[in-house]
């Protein structure tokens, strides 16, 4: 497990699937904002949930985020689009409703940076999020990411095109000793 002060990142366990599926996937409005693919009805069982543990791949690493005080599942975290040639990846997090607003997001972003930069040897991490996702933007900025641009009306969300923003962080600019919580 990769540990911070509040949260940790560990492998996804089968018992995480129904919780994440119910609280993150079945919330259509939130899921539609978190994933560029259209929501469709899927059951948590039978291997169809997007939260099912899968065989490791070279282009993504999936974690479950846990509250270290209670041991409770806090949400999911991932590095995706891992490019081993250019040594970059995208990161994403999604916290359960009861885990939001507790400082977990900023720390989970930092833990993903720690994994990406120190374990995987990546050179750059990127966050792609909706322009009105203040929580993710704030967590990324606190981790040292810089707002690099806006993709105007690029994401189809709940019947309208909305802006996305890109934030980036090169490894040389990451300062793990200065985590801002």
Domains defined along the chain, listed by start:
2-178 (3.40.630.30)
- The pLDDT of residue 167 is 98
Q: Quickly count: other Cβ atoms within 10 Å of residue 105's Cβ.
A: 26
Q: At what angle do helices 104-114 and 134-142 cross, to 10 degrees?
A: 50
- The pLDDT of residue 178 is 62
Rounded Cα distance, 126 and 16, in Å:
26
- pLDDT tens, 64-95? 999 999 999 999 999 999 999 999 999 999 99
- pLDDT tens, 3-43? 999 999 999 999 999 999 999 999 999 899 988 888 999 98
- The pLDDT of residue 56 is 80
- The pLDDT of residue 171 is 97
- The pLDDT of residue 177 is 72
| SS3 state of residue 75 | strand
- Which DSSP string corresponds to 30-64? HHHHH-SSPP----SSTT-STTS-----SSEEEEE
């Amino acid at each position: 497990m990769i540990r911070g002060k509040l949260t940790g990142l560990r492998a996804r366990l089968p018992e995480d699937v129904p919780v994440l599926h119910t609280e993150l996937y079945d919330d259509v409005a939130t899921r539609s904002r978190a994933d560029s693919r259209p929501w469709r009805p899927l059951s948590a069982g039978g291997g169809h949930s997007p939260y099912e543990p899968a065989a490791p791949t070279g282009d993504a690493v999936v974690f479950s985020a846990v509250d270290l005080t209670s041991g409770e599942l806090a949400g999911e975290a991932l590095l995706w689009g891992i490019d081993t040639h250019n040594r970059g990846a995208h990161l994403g997090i999604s916290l359960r409703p009861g885990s939001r607003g507790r400082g977990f997001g900023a720390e989970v972003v930092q833990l993903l940076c720690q994994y990406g930069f120190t374990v995987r040897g990546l050179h750059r991490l990127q966050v792609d999020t909706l322009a009105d996702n203040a929580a993710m933007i704030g967590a990324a900025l606190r981790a040292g990411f810089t707002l690099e641009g806006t993709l105007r009306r690029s994401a189809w969300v709940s019947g309208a095109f909305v802006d996305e923003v890109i934030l980036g962080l090169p490894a040389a600019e990451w300062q793990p000793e200065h985590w801002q919580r």
